[in-house]
Structure 1
């Protein structure tokens, strides 16, 4: 797939086809990481986008309790020293 470099204000950029954005689950507000590797530009989705907001919503709904409580194992009971 080819793309042309175009002027965007005082900068330059490329237009990414919507097909690629859909495959990576990116939208207009997504953040990506840019890297240069062996003369190539690599664009990677930023991991865990939206997790902070989802955690806030879970907390507000009271849905962020531990599924399993603390339970000691044999090592913790007998061999662990502080």
Structure 2
């Protein structure tokens, strides 16, 4: 796909078509990481922090009752002999 490089203040800019952004997984992103690799400008999704969204997902799971124990409570034969 050929695009036009346009003046944008003291810089230059390119309009990225929506289907192209969606194909790259950048459809809903507000930010991206841009680098130059082997003479090519590369645009990537920003890396999400580890465990991003886990707290919200756990709360949603709990709200729907999805956090119940699958196997229920159980103990081992020798647990009664343990002193805590």
Using the size of structure 2 for normalisation, the TM-score is: 0.52
Aligned length: 64
Which secondary structure does the structure 2 equivalent of 1:15 belong to? coil
Tell me whether 1:46 sits opposite 2:52 in the alignment.
no
Partner of 2:35: 35
Following the alignment from structure 2 to structure 1, what is the Cα–Cα distance between the partners of residues 67 and 35?
Answer: 35
Q: 1:5 to 1:57 in 2, by over 3 A?
A: same
Partner of 1:7: 7
Which secondary structure does the structure 2 equivalent of 1:19 belong to? helix
Contact residue 5 and residue 12 of structure 1 kept, 8 A:
yes
Gaps of 5+ in 1: 68-82
Alignment RMSD: 3.1
Q: Whose Rg is larger?
A: 2
Q: 1:28 to 1:58 in 2, by over 3 A?
A: closer
Gaps of 5+ in 2: 71-84
